Structure 1
Amino acid sequence: MPTVLVTGGAGFIGSNFIILARNKQWFNVVNLDKLTYASNLETLAELQSDINYHFVQGDIGNVELVSYILEQYQPDAIINFAAESHVDRSILSPQDFIQTNIVGTFQLLEASRFYWQKLSLQQQQQFRFLHVSTDEVYGSLNPKDPAFREDTAYAPNSPYAASKAASDHFVRAYYHTYGLPTLTTNCSNNYGPHQFPEKLIPLTILHALDGKPLPIYGDGQNIRDWLYVIDHCEAIYLVLQQGKIGETYNIGGLNEQANLDVVEKICTILDKLVPISDFSYSSLISFVKDRPGHDRRYAIDCSKIRRHLGWQPQENFDSGLLKTVQWYLSHSAWGNQVRSVNYQNWLKQNYENRKQENSG
C-alpha cells in the first residue's frame, strides 16, 4: 500500500481526509501537524491503534524535520493541508499567515524537491505533491459575474488570501522550474464534522445551543459556495490518483448561499431538533460591523474536475447542513473541549467589541 505524508492532518479538512483514507484503505498515512489552536488530536483518536497511521508533531517550515520524515517513511506523495486559514485572524495577525502559508510552504517544497531528486526514475514519475488551496485567491465576484475558473486571474483581498495566493505561485514555480510533480486544488468554503468553531457554521450551532448572540457581518448578504468536507476529501483523492501533473483543479459544492440564509437554516434545523417552547433560535441573530475587505461573493466553476475526472459533490447544502448540525449535537464533549480560554478571548476580541449594526 502506498504511503502519503499529510501535513496539517490534525486540522479540520486534514483530519477528515485521514480518517477517510484509513477507513477506505487508500494508503498508509504519516501525519505532520504543528498542533496550533485549530488542531485537535482527539479527532483522530480512532486511529490510535492503527499501525499504518503515524503522527509527528512539527512545523512544515522545519526543513530538517521534514527531510527526516521523508527519509524515514519514504512517502509516495505529499498532501499539504497545513495552513493558517481564518480571514479574521489574518486581519489581526498577518505575520502568522506569512510564516506558515508562504515560508512554510516554501520550506516544504524545498525538502520535497531534495527528496524527490534522489528517488529512482520510476519513483520520481509516481511521486506527487498536492497543494490544497482556496477560492479566496481569486478575489470577489459581483452578483452576476461568472464563477471562478482555474484560469481566473488572482486578486486576493485579505492577508489570508494573499498568503495562499503566494503559496500557490510557489507550487506552480517548483513544477515549471524543477519539474517537481505538483497538483493544486482550490476549494470553496468547507463545512462538516470537526470544524473549529471560529468559522460561521460551527460557531452558529454552538452559540445557538448556548443561547448566545449569532453574529453576522454587515447585512448578511455575503455569498459563499459551500462544500461538504467529505465531498472535498473524495475530490482530493481523485486528483491525487488521476490529476494531470502541473494542473489546478477547482473544487466547489455548487451551493451558493448568503451568510444570513445559512444562519437562518441552522436556526430552523435547531428549532426542529432541539425545540424550546415559544422560542426560535433566529431571535439570537445579531448584525455586527462588517470586517475590513470582506469579499462579497465567491463561486466555483468545477466543470474541469467533473469533465476530466468525473467528480461531482454528493451532498446538497440542506443534506450536508443537517448532517453537520446532527454531528455537533451528538458530540457536545468535542465542542466543549475545543472552546478554551484563548478561544473565548478571541471571540471577545473579534465580535463583542464591534459596533452593533441595525438588527433589522
Structure 2
Amino acid sequence: MIFKFRLFFVVASVALLGITWCTHAVAHAAPPYTGSTYRGYNSTAHLPPTDYAVVTFLTGQASDTSYFTATRVLTHQLLHANSTKVNQNTTSFLVLCTATVPAEQKATLRADGATVVEIRDVPVNWWIRPASTRWKEQFSKLRVFEMEEYRRILFVDADTVLTGPVDGIFAEPEVATLAPTLDRKHQVRWGEARLPAQWLFAARSDNALTGARAHPTPPLQAESFDAGFFLLKPDRRVFAHLLSVMALVGRFDPQAMDQGLLNYVFRREGCMPWRELHWRWSATWPTERDLEMDVVTLHDRLWRTGPQPLRDLWNAKKGEMLNFHEKGMVAAA
C-alpha cells in the first residue's frame, strides 16, 4: 500500500512538472503583433521606399573592429563600386545595428551611404547559451522578419565579398511567388505559434556539410543551410512563430544559435521547407574554383582566413573602399 502511494506521488509530481513546464513555454510564446516593434528607441532612420532591400547586421560585441570594417566594405560594394552596386531605385541597403554599436561607428556608416536602423534586441531565453560571447545578440538579426515595408529582403552577413551585382536574385523564380504552408499535421508541435497560410524563405546549402573548403563546384545540396545568406518575405506571423520556438527548451540546437533555430523552423520535412537558391548566388567556405565560376557572394572572414587569391580580393575591396572615401574627403575640402 505504501509502495503504491509513493508510486502515485511520483507519477503525479512528474505530471504536474510537465504541465508547469508546458504552461511556462506557452506563456512565453510570442504575442500577436499589431505594429512595427523592431526599431530601437533611438532609431530615426527613414526607410527608402523600394520594393526590395539587402540587409546586413552589426553588433558591438566583437573584441575588435573587424566586423565594422567588413560592414563598411560591404556598404561600398553594394552602393558605390561600379561592378557590384545594386540599382538603388528598386533596392535599398540597410544596416541593422544593436544598442551596443558605438555611435561613431553608426555615424561613419551613415556617412558611407548606408541606411542605419537601430533595432531592439530579441530576448534570448535562459536555456540558450551562446558558445561565444560575441554571438549573444545574433538572434536580433531575426528582426528582418518584421520589416513588412519590403516585398522581399535578402539578408547578407557582413563578412561577404561580392563578385557581381546581387539584386538580380529578386527576379529568380524561386522567390517570385509565395508557397502555401504544407498540411503536415505530424509536424505541428505543441507550444509553437500558428503558422501563416503562405510564406517564403530561400537559402543556400551550407558547404560546411559537403566538404567545407574541399567542396565541389557546382556544390552538392545539403539538408541544412547557412544563415549568413537567405531571402525572405517579411511576415510578423513568422517572427512570432520563431519567438515561440525559442521559448521551448530543447526544441532546436542552441549551439548554432539563429542558424539552428532557422534550420528547425524551415526544415525540409516541416510545414515550411526552405527553398534552395541557385548555387551561383552564394558560397560558404569559398574557394578559388567558386571565384572562377563567378559565384556572386563569397562568405568568409577573408581578412584572416581562406585561399590567398580570395584574401587578396578582400584586401583589394577594402582598399577600394578606403580610397573612395579618401577622395571624397579631399574633394569636400
Question: Same fold per TM (> 0.5)?
Answer: no
Higher-Rg member (1/2): 2
TM-score normalized with structure 1 length: 0.32
Q: Point out the structure with the larger helix share.
A: 1
